Amino acid sequence: MKTLSEFKSARIEFLFTDIDDTLTDRGQLRADSYAALWMMKDAGIKIVPVTGRPAGWCEMIARFWPVDGVVGENGAFYFRYHGRVMKRHFSVDEKTRNSHRIKLDNTVAPAILKNVSGCAIASDQFCRISDLAIDYCEDVSPLKAADVSRIVEVFEKHGAHAKVSSIHVNGWFGDFDKLSMCKEFLRREFNLDFDDVQDRIGFVGDSPNDEPMFKAFQNSFAVANIQKFLAQLIHKPAFVTAAPGGEGFCELAHRLVRK
**Hey, where are the domains in the chain?**
2-91+176-258, 94-172
For residue 259, what pLDDT is reported?
A: 57
Would you state the CATH architecture of domain 2-91+176-258? 3-Layer(aba) Sandwich (3.40)
8-36 pLDDT, tens digit each:
877 899 999 999 999 999 999 999 999 99
d(CA 196, CA 230): 29
Residues in the chain where the model's pLDDT stays below 50? none
- Rounded to the nearest 5 degrees, what angle is found at the Cα of 32, between the Cα atoms of 29 and 36? 100
For residue 165, what pLDDT is reported?
A: 86
Q: What is the CATH number of domain 94-172?
A: 3.90.1070
d(CA 221, CA 240): 6
For residue 258, what pLDDT is reported?
A: 84
For residue 78, what pLDDT is reported?
A: 98
Quickly count: other Cβ atoms within 10 Å of residue 31's Cβ: 8
The number of helices, as runs of H, and strands, as runs of E, in the chain is: 8, 13
- Cβ contact 183:204 at 8 Å: no
